[in-house]
Structure 1
Amino acid sequence: MAKPREATAMASSPSSLSPPEIPMELHEINRSKLIKYLREHLCHSSRPLQGFVLLQGGEEQNRYCTDHAELFRQESYFAYLFGVREPSFYGAIDVATGESILFAPRLSAEYAVWLGEIKPLSYFKERYMVSKVFYTDEIVKVLHDQYHSSEKPLLFLLHGLNTDSNNFSKPAEFEGIEKFEMDLNTLHPLLTECRVFKSDLELSLIQFANDISSEAHVQVMRKTRVGMKEYQLESTFLHHTYMYGGCRHCSYTCICATGENSSVLHYGHAAAPNDRIFQDGDMALLDMGAEYHFYGSDITCSFPVNGKFTSDQCLVYNAVLDAHNAVVSSMKPGVSWVDMHKKAEITILEALKKGGLLVGDVDDMMVERLGAVFMPHGLGHFLGLDTHDPGGFLKGAKRPGEPGLKALRTSRELQERMVITVEPGCYFIDALLVPAMESSNTSKFFVPEEINRFKGFGGVRIESDLRVTANGCVNMTKVPRETSEIEAVMAGGPWSIKNPIICSENGGKR
C-alpha cells in the first residue's frame, strides 16, 4: 500500500530542522537591559529616574495608490523591545518602575470581516508578556495617569542617525504629544548600543537563521545546472527557508550573480533581477540569508556552476578563502576591525602575487591601497535585527577615508557578544581595474596579460556570520567552504549542518 502523501513528504524532507519556539522572554530581557542602561545614564547626568521610553511601531504600507498591502515587517527598534508582529502599535516603558505598556490600534468591525478575529487587549498582554495594554487613542491619558510627578511627563523618543544608511530614526508621533516634554537625544545611542551585544536568546534565533540558510545554500549547490537562470537559484533558496524554516522574510534582496554579474556588488536589484542564463565555466556568487522572528543571517557562497573548479577559479577562490580563514582565526575581543580588513587585503594580494597576476612588494601595494581595487567593500558589518545592524560607529568616531577602508561599516574593536559578518571578496571590475592599471602609482604592480585573462571572470565572495566570544569567535554559518567539499556536495555527496565548523576558540578546522 502506498504511503499517505504527508508521510512521503516528511520522509523525503531535505531538512533536519524545524522552526524553534519564539521566546517572548527575549524582549523582556531587552527591555530590562535598556532600562538599566538608561538609568545609569540618567544617574551619571544627575537627572531624575522618571519618564517613559516611547516607540512607535511600523505602519502597513500600500503599493503606491492601490489598496494592495505590502507584506508587513515590524520596525526593528520596536521589534527589539516588544516583539510585536502586527502594525500600528505603540510601546512604552516606565523608567521609574520598568513596567511595559503596549498600545494597540482600535479596529473597526470591518476588520473582522476581511482580516479575521479582533483580538482582545488581554491577548496582546499575554502574547507579548507586557505589564499593561491599552488602545492607541488612550496614550495621553494613560501616560499622564501613570506619571509619578506633578510636572509635565517626559518622553524619551527615538531619534538618531543610522551610520549605515545615513538615515535618521523616526520619533513617535501621536495626537496630543504636545502635552509632554520630549527628549530626542538620549534614547537612540543607548538603544543602539543595546542591540550591538546579543543575549543568548537572540543568538539562538540568529543561529537558527544561519542553520536553515546554510541548508538552503547546500540545496542550491546540489540543484545548480548549466543553462538554468539565476532566479531559479533564488527560488530554491527562498522555498527551502520558508518551507522548512518558517522564514517568511528574507534578510535582504537575494544576490544570485553568475559570470561577470558576480563582480556587481549589489546585483539582484530591480534593474538586474537575477535573470541571466548561466554558462558552463561560470562562477556563481550567491548572497542570500533568511530571517526568523526579525533576526537575520547573511551568507555568501561562491562556486562553479558546473561543479568543478578550474585552476583560475581555484586561484581566486582560495585567495578569498585564505583571507576569510585568516580573519576568523584572529578574531577575539580587543581586535580592531580596521586591522582585520587590512589582514584580508594583504592575504588576497599575496595570493594574487603568488598566482602571477601581480608583482612587487605587498607592503607597497597596501600603501597605494591596491587592495581596494580587488575588494572595494568593507570586510563585514554587525548583524541582528537588520542585515546591517546599527552601532558600527560610536559618536565622535572618525571614519577612515582611504579607498576600501571608507566602505567599512564599523571601525570598532571587537567585544564579546557582537555578531559580525566576515565577507572578503576578490573581483575583477573594469571600472576599478582600468584606472589602476593606467595610474603611474599602481600600474607597476600589474601583469597585464595575466589580469586580462580574468576579464569577464566576475568575482568571488565568501561570507560567514561570526559571534565573538570571551576568547575568540564561533562561526555560525555551516556551509561547504573548501573546494573539495563544494565539488563533493555538488556531485551529490552528504553534508550536515551538524558538522564541526571553523572556530578560533577550538583551534581551527574540522
Structure 2
Amino acid sequence: MSQLNDNLTKLYQSHLTSLQSRVKDIIQLEKIDALVIHSGQTKRQFLDDMDYPFKVNPHFKAWLPVLDVPNSWLIVDGINKPKLIYFQPHDFWHKVIKLGDEFWQDAFDIQILTQANQVEALLPRVLNNHAYIGEHLEVAQALGFDNINPEPILNHLHFYRAYKTEYEQMCMREATKIGIQGHLAAKDTFYAGGSEFDIHLAFLQAAQLNEHQLPYNNIVALNQNAATLHYTYYERHKPSQHLSFLIDAGGQFNGYASDITRTYAAKKGVFAELINRLDQIQLDLVASLKPNMKFGDLHIQCHHKIAQLLVEFGLVTISAKEVIELNITASFFPHGLGHPLGLQVHDVGGFMADARGTHREPPEGHPYLRTTRIIEPNMVVTIEPGLYFIDCLLNSLSKAPQGKYINWQRVEALKPFGGIRIEDNIIVHATFNENMTRDLGL
C-alpha cells in the first residue's frame, strides 16, 4: 500500500493542476470569484431516526478521495491553494473520520468545522459572486448563494470530466483490481453450486467492500434471471439446476468505479458456444475503438455483429443484412454498447458535443445508448455487447411481422439461460487501447 500511495502522490499534484486549470477557465468565462463545492449532507429516512447511506457529491471527490465525510466544503478559484473545510464533529454516536497523514493533505488549506450549522463563519463573507456546486439547494439559499449549480459551469465541468488524468487512470486500475477479486470469487461460488445470495456475499468478501461501498448494486443472476438487465434481487435458495450465471459488479477505489460483466455456462453446449462467440465480438469491438470515431458508430457495428451471430446460431432464418433492415437485433440486444466511466459508473457528459453542453443525439432507433461522444485519448469507456432472451421483447417480436423470421424453437430452448453480457473497462490512449479488465487478470 505504501508503494501505491507513493505512486498516487506523484500523480496527484498533476491531477490537481488539471482541475485548477479547468476552474480557472470557468471563472474567466463566467466572471465569478470561485466555486464552492459541498460534499453533501446526510438524509434522514422518513419517520425514522436513521439516515440513508451517505453518497458524496462527485464534484467534491474529484478533488480529493474523501467519500464518507458529509458537511465538508471546498473553495477553489483555479489560482490559489484550494481551501478545505473539513467536518469533524464532537460525536459519541458515530465514528468521526479524522484527518490522518493522507497523501493529499498538503495540497489544501484545511480548516476544521465542528458544527455543520456554523460553516458560514468559514466561508467567504460575501457569496453573491461564488457558485455553489451541490445538491442541497435550501442550504445554499440559506447561506446567501445567488449562483446555484449554474448550467454553463456544470456543462464545462461535465464535458472535461471525460478526460481522465494519470492519477484518475491509476485509481481506476485499482478499482478494476478490486472488482476482479470479487468476480473470481463469485465465479468459483457459482461453479460450487451457490445461490445468488451466496455468490453476492462471496463477491463482497473477496473485494473487501460492504454493500454501501459498491459503485452500484451488484447484478448476480442465475439462469432465466439473467434476462432482467438490472436484476438485483439475490435469491437465497439455490435453483434446481445451475444453467448459467451473469454477474455485473465493480470495485471502487478513491471514489472511482470499475464496471465489469461476465457470463458463464454451467456445462458445454450451445449457450457456452454463444458466450465464446460474444466474447470474440466484444474483443473485436474493443480493437475497433479509436480516437476521433463516434461512439454511436461503434454501437451500430455491434448490432451488425449481433445480426451475424443470430444467423450463425440459427436463431433467424434470413440474412444478417435483412436482420438489420428489420431491426430484429433490438429485441435481442436492447441496451447501449457502453458508457463513460469514472467518478460515477455512468459518468456524466456522455451526450455532449462541446463544453457549452450542445447535445449530440444517439443514432436513430437506438434510444438507450448512453454516450454519443467523439472518442478521444484519455477517455475511459465500457464496451459491453449482450444477447438476451427477454420475455416481453420476444412476445412483442412474435406478434410483429418480422416474427416469422425467428427460429422460435431454438429461442425457446435458450430462454432458460436468460442472457449474456461481456463488459470490459477501456482506457483509450493515442495509439492503443488499454483493456484494464483483461490486462489485470479477468
Q: Does 1:322 align with 2:322?
A: no
Query: Per the alignment, in what secondary structure is the counterpart of residue 478 of structure 1?
Result: helix
1:366-408 CA distance string (max 9 Å, x none): 22221111110111111111111111011232423744x2101
Residue identity matched to 1:55: I
Name the amino acid aligned to 1:230. Answer: E
Among 118, 130, 133, the residue aligned to 2:111? 133
> For residue 305 of structure 2, what is the amino acid of its counterpart?
T
- The structure-2 alpha-carbon separation of the partners of 1:236 and 1:267, relative to structure 1 and needing over 3 Å to count, comes to same
> Counterparts of 2:380 and 2:373 in 1: how far apart (Å)?
13
1:60 Cα deviation (Å)?
A: 2.4
Q: 1:303 aligns with which of 264, 268, 271?
A: 264
Q: Of residues 95, 98, 101 in structure 1, which corresponds to 2:80?
A: 98
Q: Give the corresponding residue for 2:381.
A: 420
Q: For residue 158 of structure 1, what is the aligned residue in structure 2?
A: 133
**Which deviates more from structure 2 when the two are superposed, residues 74-83 or residues 383-392?**
74-83
Matched, 1:400 2:362: yes
**Do the aligned residues in 2 keep the contact of 1:252 with 1:288 (CA within 8 Å)?**
yes
In the alignment, the residues of structure 2 paired with residue 366 and residue 18 of structure 1 have an alpha-carbon distance, to the nearest angstrom, of: 53
Following the alignment from structure 1 to structure 2, what is the Cα–Cα distance between the partners of residues 179 and 75?
Answer: 18
Kept after mapping to 2: 8 A contact 1:154/1:183: no
Pair 1:457–1:142, CA change in 2 (3 A): closer
Q: Which amino acid aligns with 1:143?
A: P
Inter-CA distance 253–144: structure 2 relative to 1 (3 Å threshold): same
Distance in 2 (alpha carbons) for counterparts of 1:211 and 1:388: 19
Please identify, of 174-183 and 408-417, the stretch whose mean Cα deviation from structure 2 is larger: 174-183
Q: Given that residues 339 and 346 in structure 2 are in contact (C-alpha distance below 8 angstroms), is that contact kept between their aligned partners in structure 1?
A: yes
CA distance in 2, matches of 1:320, 1:292: 29
Residues 294 and 38 of structure 1, relative CA distance in 2, 3 Å threshold: closer
| 2:246 corresponding residue in structure 1 | 285
Alignment equivalent of 2:181, drawn from 208, 215, 219: 215
Matching residue of 2:215 = 251
Q: Output the CA distance in 1 between the equivalents of 2:178 and 2:98.
A: 32
1:445 counterpart residue number: 405
Map of 1:21 onto structure 2:
5
> Could you tell me how far apart the structure 2 residues matched to 1:370 and 1:170 are?
45
Provide the secondary structure at the position in 1 that maps to 2:415.
coil
Structure 2 SS opposite 1:81: coil
1:28-73 Cα offsets, whole Å, 9 max, x none, are 5454323323433555x5x64x501111112123444333344434
**Does 1:75 pair with 2:33?**
no
What do you get for the CA RMSD once the two structures are aligned? 3.2
Q: Which residue of 2 aligns with 1:261?
A: 225
Aligned equivalent of 1:84: 66
Letter in 1 for 2:63: L
User: 1:281-335, CA deviations, whole angstroms, 9 ceiling, x for partnerless residues?
Assistant: 5110011111112111111111123xx321x113321332122012111011112
Counterpart secondary structure, 1:173: helix
- Give the structure-2-normalised TM-score: 0.87
SS in 2 for 1:78: helix
Distance 1:262 1:361 in 2: 27
The CA distance in 1 between the partners of 2:218 and 2:377, in whole Å, is 29
Structure 2 portions without partners, runs of 5+: none
| Aligned counterpart, 1:505 | none
How far 1:346 sits from its partner (Å)? Answer: 1.5
Cα distance between partner residues in 1 of 2:20 and 2:263: 43
Judged with a 3 Å threshold, the aligned counterparts in structure 2 of structure 1 residues 282 and 117 are, in CA distance, closer, same or farther, namely closer
Would the aligned equivalents of 2:246 and 2:420 in 1 still touch at CA under 8 Å? yes
| 1:165 aligned residue | none
Asked if the contact 1:198–1:418 (Cα under 8 Å) also holds between the matched residues in 2, the reply is yes
1:99 maps to a residue whose letter is: K
What do residues 81-123 of structure 1 show as CA deviations (whole Å, max 9, x unaligned)?
233231111111134x333112234734xx1x34467958x98
Q: Aligned pair in 2 of structure 1 residues 54, 179: CA closer, same or farther (>3 Å)?
A: closer
Secondary structure of the equivalent of 1:378? coil
Name whichever of 136-145 and 422-431 sits farther off. 136-145
- Cross-structure match for 1:195: 161
Structure 2 SS opposite 1:449: helix
Describe the shift of the 1:297–1:279 C-alpha distance in structure 2 as closer, same or farther (beyond 3 A): farther
**Which residue in the other structure is 1:35 paired with?**
20
- Deviation at 1:414? 1.0
**Per the alignment, do residues 25 and 35 of structure 1 end up closer, same or farther by CA in structure 2, a change over 3 Å counting?**
same
Q: Tell me how far apart the structure 2 counterparts of residues 294 and 91 of structure 1 sit (CA, whole Å).
A: 16
1:49-60 map, 5 Å: 50-60=32-42
- Structure 1 residue 261, shift from structure 2 partner: 0.4
For 1:293 and 1:107, how far apart are their aligned partners in 2? 23
Q: Distance in 1 between matches of 2:385 and 2:404?
A: 24
Asked whether 1:144 is paired with 2:103, we answer no
Q: Distance in 2 between matches of 1:91 and 1:331?
A: 37
* Alpha-carbon shift at residue 226 of structure 1 (Å): 6.1
| TM-score, length basis structure 1 | 0.76
5+ long unaligned stretches in structure 1: 1-16, 146-151, 160-168, 480-496, 502-510
Alignment correspondent of 1:235: 201
Amino acid at match of 1:257: A
Taking the aligned partners of 2:326 and 2:397, their CA distance within structure 1 comes to 10
User: AA paired with 2:19?
Assistant: L
SS in 2 for 1:426: strand
Larger radius of gyration: 1
Show the counterpart of 2:334. 376
Structure 1 contact 256–274 (Cα < 8 Å) conserved:
no
Letter in 2 for 1:94: D
Secondary structure at the counterpart of residue 215 of structure 1 = helix
Question: Within 1, Cα distance between the matches of 2:103 and 2:124?
Answer: 17
Q: C-alpha deviations, 1:474-499, integer Å up to 9, x for none?
A: 110038xxxxxxxxxxxxxxxxx46x
1:247-277 Cα shifts (integer Å, max 9, x gaps): 9711111111011101000001xxx334352
2:417 to 457, 460, 464: 457
**One-letter amino acid matched to 2:190:** T
Equivalent residue, structure 2, for 1:359 = 317
Is the alpha carbon distance of 1:281 and 1:396 closer, same or farther for their aligned partners in structure 2, counting shifts above 3 Å? Answer: same
448-457 or 17-26, which deviates more: 17-26
